[in-house]
Chain A
């Protein structure tokens, strides 16, 4: 079953603009992770935020987590064509000992 749901499902922007993706989940979590997947390839881990953290930065990425709303957002600043990919949020169903991925969001950055 899907835990995280990314929103929007697709986003098209121009190079240099910021891209924001949202993820909502249903159960209590220990952490939430974001991954990127280039077309038809393996996923690459971007960032992990723990349930006791509210915000985390990594380069051009900024992730926020609101456990009261069961939601997270991923902000990519100054986007590049190379950021074109699908982005997934993943949560650990509390106690389930596995990661559950959302269906993903396709980001297209036009040069």
Chain B
């Protein structure tokens, strides 16, 4: 089975811009979770989608949003980028539940200048 894929792998944006990141889960996995990883805050949960519905959400401002399509692929969007949004954004998929074993993609490294 192909693993979780994320595109793009690297992204450089400037403050105020918006960005969309994409994640394709492992075939058959219906739960997709997104995490932000920074040196200072560690791995922070953003949100989880299951069957095109946001099932859970972390403590991030409304500038962070996401969606899931009928084929389980997911996108996350960050609007009005701030310097502090520079991070590694990781997507993970699991079969049904976010608490189950998660399979991570390689991440998208976002740099905001």
- Residues of A whose CB lies within 8 Å of any CB of B are 2, 30-31, 33, 35, 40-45, 48, 88, 92, 96-104
Q: Is the CB of B104 within 8 A of A43?
A: yes
Residues of B within 8 A of A (CB): 4, 33, 35, 42-43, 45, 48, 55-56, 58, 88, 90, 92, 97-99, 101-107, 109
Complex Cα gap A90–B103 (Å): 13
Which residues of chain A have C-beta atoms less than 8 A from B90's C-beta? Answer: 42-43
Q: Is the CB of B45 within 8 A of A42?
A: no
Shortest Cβ distance from A43 into B: residue: B104
CB pair B99–A30 under 8 Å, yes or no, is yes
Q: How far is the CB of B2 from chain A (nearest CB, A)?
A: 14
Which residue on chain B has the smallest CB distance to residue A95?
B99
CB <8 Å contact, B98 and A97: yes
Given contacts A97-B55, A104-B43, 11 further A-B contacts (CB under 8 A): A30-B99, A42-B92, A42-B105, A42-B106, A42-B107, A96-B56, A97-B99, A98-B33, A99-B33, A100-B45, A101-B45
Q: Check if A99 sits within 8 Å of B104, measured CB to CB.
A: no
Instruction: Give the interface centre of B43, B48, B97, B104 by most chain A CB atoms within 10 Å.
Output: B43
Contact in complex: B109, A40 (CB < 8 Å): yes
Q: List 29 A-B contacts (CB under 8 A).
A: A40-B88, A40-B107, A41-B106, A41-B107, A42-B4, A42-B90, A42-B92, A42-B104, A42-B105, A42-B106, A43-B90, A43-B92, A43-B102, A43-B104, A45-B103, A48-B101, A96-B56, A97-B56, A97-B99, A98-B48, A98-B58, A98-B99, A99-B45, A99-B99, A100-B45, A102-B42, A103-B42, A103-B43, A104-B43
B99 and A31 contact, CB distance less than 8 A: yes
Q: Name the residue on B nearest A93 (C-beta).
A: B99
Contact B107 A101 (CB under 8 A): no
Q: Which residues of B contact A104 (CB under 8 A)?
A: 42-43
Tell me, in angstroms, the Cα distance from A98 to B104 when the chains sit together: 15
Q: In the complex, which residues of chain B have a beta carbon less than 8 angstroms from the beta carbon of A33?
A: 101-102
